[in-house]
Copies of this chain bind each other. A is one copy, B any other.
Amino acid sequence: MFKWNEGSQSAQAAILERPAVTASESIEKQTQAIINDVIANGDNALLEFAKKFDKREQPRLRVPSEEIAQSEDLLEPSLKQAIDLAYSNIKAFHQQQQPVSKKIETAPGVVCELKFEAIDAIGLYVPGGSAPLPSSVLMQGVCAQLSGATTVVLATPVNGNERIHPAILYAAKLCGITTIIESGGAGVIAAMAYGTESVPKVNKVFGPGNSYVTMAKQLLSQSVPGFAIDMPAGPSEVMVIADERANPAFIAADLLSQAEHGRDSQVLLVCNSEEIIALTQQQIELQLEALSRADIARAALENSALILVDDMGQAFDVSAKYGPEHLILQIDQADQYVGLVKNAGSVFVGDYTPESAGDYASGTNHVLPTYGYSKVYSSLNLMDFYRTYTVQSITPSGLVNLSKAILPLADAEGLDAHANAVKVRLENL
């Protein structure tokens, strides 16, 4: 337990410091080689990677549409209903984010409009690993569907002789995704940035991944004009702010649900009661015993911090300094404290709002800025699938009026031709 008030400023900074995450030069070099291979060999490069990295004997790239169509028949009814309910809530929340053009006559005869267009071609990446991640499909796929993007590509790796889990396919089907590519890692990110025979070229790639995927996204977004990525990646994090009446079992469960994500996960408790902190530690030990991913959670807990503060005001100061990806408020009348929140990715208000609700089904997006980026990056939202542009329309008399601003400014900036573009028009009136 770290007593905030007794720590020096540098000790306070140290307790909130995240472990450095730096990709090695070797990862950069390997990733660049993979990218180059895809540029040179297209589909063939992806097929070779599937054999080599994913141990596929007979790799294929495009999932046949019948497999997508039939996916729900292979699902447990309870899982199908779970996906349906999550989809419905996520869609409702994101639907209300549809952008609306804004038009205004800024001066007589000068009409300006802010308009939105869906980014044409979207790539969604869903990592593989020990378990399928249908929630990751829903969080990205609902946005792509609501934006009306012309092209949506979903890429996910498949290991050995396995097939893509029907939960992934069914989630994709709900989101109207018809192009699913059985390929993972840096290779398929490059394929989406450049396009190959089977993989359509896209303008923006979303989704988490391992360090090669992250590096590929970074390298490609810097080198391919017109190609962008969602946001910088980092280990997942939760901060719980709890008061003296909070339930230690709830706190422990929330900390553990973050800790099981990965060994590099960060979990922090900020609390005004030594007793609650001590009871939470006991609860953590108790609950750990039943977890299948206890090893991972234990490793993550090594990076954890239990911070004792004087009061809730100080707790929110600590939170703003840290900028947590997830912030859970287990405080009496927690909704009264939402106004104090700063620099958080997603906020969970009250004792009955666990992080896992937002991870899956409340409706909010679970793709969130982490690693301190919540001070400047947004949580994933529908606007990330749109771009904004402007339109202006000026009448001749509007231009006469506006020339009083344009001509002196062009003159001050030494740009004759800028002034001339107005003058030739005024002379013509």
Contacts and interface: CB of A to CB of B under 8 A. Distances in A.
A4 interface: no
Contacts of A396: 352
A395 interface: yes
Nearest to A85: B405
A421 B254 contact: yes
Interface string A327-353: 000000011001001111111111111
Interface in A265-324: 287, 290-293, 297, 323
Interface in A6-34: 18
A138 B415 CA distance: 17
Most buried by B among A88, A228, A413: A413
A63 interface: no
Given A92-B106, A345-B389, A376-B226, A76 B408 contact: yes
Q: Is the interface of A mostly helix, strand, loop or mixed?
A: mixed
A178 interface: no
A176 to B, nearest CB: 20
Number of copies of this protein chain within its complex: 2
A30 to B, nearest CB: 18
A222 B79 CA distance: 39
B376 A418 contact: no
A1 interface: no
Contact of A415 (B257, B287, B342): B257
Interface string A118-149: 01100000000011111100000000000000
Contact of A390 (B364, B399, B410, B419): B364
Nearest to A22: B223
A114 B97 contact: yes
Given A257-B417, A416-B291, A376 B203 contact: yes
A85 B402 CA distance: 8
Contacts of A18: 225
A218 interface: yes
A93 interface: yes
A347 B394 CA distance: 11
Most buried by B among A79, A93, A345, A396: A93
A395 B352 contact: yes
The 7 closest A-B pairs by CB, nearest first: A106-B363, A131-B414, A361-B405, A82-B408, A378-B388, A354-B421, A225-B372
Interface of A: 18, 76, 78-79, 81-83, 85-86, 88-89, 92-93, 96-97, 102, 104, 106-107, 110, 112, 114, 117, 119-120, 130-135, 165, 167, 203-204, 218, 222, 225-228, 232, 234, 247, 249-250, 253-254, 256-257, 259-261, 287, 290-293, 297, 323, 334-335, 338, 341-365, 369, 371-379, 381, 383, 386-396, 398-399, 402, 404-425, 428
